[in-house]
Amino acid sequence: MKGRVLIVAGSDSGGGAGIQADIKSVTALGGFAATAITALTAQNTFGVHDIFPVDIGFIQTQMRVVLKDIGTDSLKTGMLHSPEVIDAVCAVLETEAVGIPVVVDPVMVAKGGASLLSTDAVATLRNRLLPLARVITPNIPEAEDILQWAPGTLQTIEDMKTAAESLKALGSSAVLVKGGHMKGDDLFDVLLDDDGFYIFETQRIDTTHTHGTGCTLASSIATGIAQGLALPQAVGRAQAYVVAAIKGAPGFGGGHGPIDHGHTVSAFEGI
């Protein structure tokens, strides 16, 4: 049940999100993580302080050498910060990863508010990457941005269903609209695939330590897909993993702190 996952995303020096969160999540769920790093960020719990882009050709080379030798059972994309990077990644997906399911986390804004996707890249994301996705995992503001809807449009589960249908019409095989930005204590994620809607319900946890939850959820879904789980089961397991990780957050940092990615292996502590 190992499952190989190739992650194409940015690095978070604080260890809570990005490639670091992805590797931890895939490993904690029993998968094998390989990476193609798209950018380096100087980041802590207070936000992103600087970004150093990786050469586009080198991003492609990272992907190609992994695909050629190790291979992968699923791919997960995270921070793809410019139209050129998105185009370059799509070029590899279209030629050397045909038929491999892709989980697209449309990373647009960091937890601290820093933009991680240039404005002109949104159209490229919409037109080039989304049609290649097995599933996309936008939160509510990201869904509104991709659809060019006014902020605050999505208020209810029915709104989220409508957004999921509109997003799926852009070409993705499935859409998971995450409801963490909804008001109230009852939170809902809405999954739409070819079999219809699935609603996942959780309770809001009163904490500021939620840095990296989007990256973590997407990479956890990619792990489930790589291990042969059906998409609804992969989403359900990923959501349960993230909830437990939030509850066990170590409390590091003075801002939006990291979650406990290692909770599934904590039984081995002290051995």
Structure tokens belonging to residue 39: 């950018």
Q: Which residue has the tokens 């008001």?
A: 183
Q: Where are the alpha helices (DSSP H) in the chain?
A: 18-28, 56-69, 83-96, 121-124, 140-147, 157-168, 213-226, 231-247
Residues 206 and 196: their CA atoms lie apart, in Å, by: 32
Distance CA 104, CA 200 (A): 19
Hey, is 60 helix, strand or coil? helix
Q: Please say whether the beta carbons of 219 and 22 come within 8 A.
A: yes
The total of other beta-carbon atoms located within 10 Å of residue 104's CB is: 25
Alpha-carbon distances of 35 from 45, 66, 171, 235, rounded to whole Å: 23, 8, 25, 22
- How far apart CA 74 and CA 227 sit, in angstroms, is 9
Catalytic residue positions, numbered: 178, 210, 212-215
Would strands 135-136 and 196-203 be described as parallel, antiparallel, or unpaired? unpaired
Helix (H, G, I), strand (E, B) or coil at 176: strand
- Specify whether the backbone of 28 is left (phi greater than 0), alpha (psi in -120 to 50) or beta: alpha
Return d(Cα 177, Cα 154) in angstroms, integer. Answer: 10
